Amino acid sequence: MSEPFVALLTARYGVAEGWKLAAAEGAGAYQVARQALTSRQPAELKAEVKKANIRGRGGAGFPAGVKWGFVNPQEGEQVYLVVNADESEPGTFKDRSIMDLDPHRLIEGAIISCFAIGAHVAYIYVRGELAFSAARLEQAIAEARQAGYLGERPFGIEHPIDIYVHSGAGAYICGEETGLLNSLEGRRGEPRLKPPFPAVKGAFGMPTIVNNVETIASIPGIIEMGGDAWAALSRLPGDGGARIYGVSGHVKNPGLFEAPVGITMRELIYEYAGGMLGDRPLKAVIPGGSSTPVLDPQRKVDAPNEDHPLHKWHGQSEIDVPMGVDTYRALGTMLGTCCAIVMDDTVNMVDDCRNLMRFYKHESCGQCTPCREGTGWLADVLDNLCAGRGKPADVDLLVDIANNMMGNTICAFADGTAMPMLGMVQKFRDEFMAAAIRGLPEGVRHDESVRSIVKGSA
């Protein structure tokens, strides 16, 4: 359609040793931060981010500029920036590439963000498994400090900024922002009740902005281009810019691709990721991490009413709707992290579902009963179905359990379990009934122990 898209976020991924300051600066790093800190006001920067319409890249899609606007520190309060690098949503692997290949973009984004929201300290919470990424970030931070971009007087201005890396230790729930804050404070990563929201009372009881790695890494591009121009990169209104898409599963060329917001799932699978492995038919795709309800390419968008946000795509396949936070919500799913899991026709959806519910059973923090019991119950019922011990009523039991988890817990984890569960049954009910009657074909019975075995639970 328009001129070729120029990579922004990933522009330096190909630079030789681009994780080192010299190479990154040679390719333009820190020019935006220098200009922003020395010649612009925090309020202007915040306004640009708001105009950019950047929807949070961590999965919830909340407008980052609006979130920043919630910070209103009282006398004596210290503002914190926390970068959420606890990337662990199944199917999602984008943030790691930023930390490994271009950590200076993240640091530059954090510097600008700290200045804009009035923070002096940023913590980057990296999941424990990514020790390599954490070490690389620390090295990059040390270089930036050495160069005078961090510390008492970054770029010579009177606004001290320091960035610290904080490693988690293996807990999906620490990607939930209040669970993350508890973990940062040295506690069990159990989410907190909201309100108060972190922007009012977050890390150490102080106003805190928690943003995803990709969101923060987008900030230099936004400030450089200006919010309006950056927003215009997108093909959709109200959901600006470009982002990193991931594809895993049964495609020829799995990986990460940077593209404007609003490409379709069909483009992502067939053009970016090279099409289906072995040219087999596409059966289903989980669009943005395992918590987002599955899409069925056979299903058509049903939006005959002209007021419906998806009316433009009425009668087309679900995978022909542009990928945006709002369009996908209207479709009954979520854009999530924008990292798709693609499945061909060899896949049994009951088995897949069991795989994912096992994940949630393992990762539920156990704080709220509906979630702690519900995730385990779902996994157990699915185990029974797969093993041929199920009965038709179990399919409705899955729906019933999921419905009783939704909205009944402190954080969104239970919703993130129940929604994909409901979507699976809604769209592939026949397969669930078949499994309930006959069990699954041979060879799908896995042993169920996961990491927790070390804890003596198995």
Q: What residues numbered 412-441 form the site for other proteins, per CB under 8 A? A: none
Rule CB under 8 A: is residue 445 a binding residue for other proteins?
no
Which one among 232, 347, 387, 433 touches other proteins, defined by CB under 8 A?
347
Among residues 6 and 393, whose Cβ is nearest to other proteins?
Answer: 6
Q: Is 374 near other proteins (CB under 8 A)?
A: no
Of 239, 436, 402, 253, which Cα lies nearest the Cα of 334? 239
Scanning 58-66, 134-142, 318-326, 429-437 for contacts with other proteins by CB under 8 A, the matching segment is 134-142
Task: Determine which residue in the list 25, 77, 138, 373 makes contact with other proteins, applying CB under 8 A.
Answer: 138
Q: Does 149 bind other proteins (CB under 8 A)?
A: no
Rg, Å, the chain Cα set: 22
From 48-56, 163-171, 216-224, 398-406, give the range in contact with other proteins by CB under 8 A: 163-171
Q: Tell me which residues in 89-128 interact with other proteins (CB under 8 A).
A: 89-93, 95-97, 99-101, 127-128
- Chain centroid to CA 348: 26
Q: Quote the CA–CA distance of 171 and 371 in Å, as a whole number.
A: 15
Q: Does 264 bind other proteins (CB under 8 A)?
A: no
Torsional sign, CA 414, 416, 417, 423:
positive
Does position 73 bind other proteins by CB under 8 A?
Answer: no
Q: Which residue among 35, 316, 355, 408 contacts other proteins (CB under 8 A)?
A: 355
152 counts as binding other proteins under rule CB under 8 A: no
Tell me how far apart the alpha carbons of residues 424 and 369 are, in angstroms, rounded to a whole number.
23
Measured from the CB atom, the residue of 45 and 184 that comes closer to other proteins is 184
Q: Which residues contact 266 (CB under 8 A, 6 or more apart)?
A: 297, 317, 319, 320
- CA-to-CA distance for 233 and 261, rounded, in angstroms? 8
Contact between 4 and other proteins (CB under 8 A)?
A: yes
Considering the complex, what minimum distance in angstroms separates the CB of residue 143 from other proteins? Answer: 9
Q: Is the peptide bond before 196 cis (omega within 30 degrees of 0)?
A: yes
Tell whether residue 287 is a contact of other proteins (CB under 8 A).
no
Give me 447's structure tokens: 């042993």
Beta strands per DSSP E along 22-181: 79-85, 119-126, 162-167
For other proteins, the closer CB: 45 or 257: 257
Residues 293-332 touching other proteins, rule: CB under 8 A, are none
- 131 in contact with other proteins (CB under 8 A): yes
Considering the complex, what minimum distance in angstroms separates the CB of residue 445 from other proteins? Answer: 11
- Under the binding rule (CB under 8 A), the answer on residue 333 touching other proteins is no
Q: How many residues bind other proteins (CB under 8 A)?
A: 100
Secondary structure of residue 299 in the 3-state scheme: coil
What is d(CA 321, CA 185) in angstroms, rounded to the nearest whole number? 42
169 binds other proteins (CB under 8 A): yes
Q: What is the C-alpha separation between 179 and 66, in angstroms, rounded? A: 22
| Least distance (Å) between residue 206 CB and other proteins | 8
Q: Is 454 in the site for other proteins (CB under 8 A)?
A: yes
CB of residue 142 to other proteins, shortest distance in Å: 5
Q: Choose which of 134, 216, 331, 410 interacts with other proteins (CB under 8 A).
A: 134
What is the Cα–Cα distance from 63 to 65, expressed in whole angstroms? Answer: 6
Please give the torsion angle defined by the CA atoms of residues 217, 222, 224 and 226, in that order, rounded to the nearest 10 degrees: -170
Nearest to 69 by CA among 48, 85, 91, 95: 48
Number of residues assigned to the chain:
458
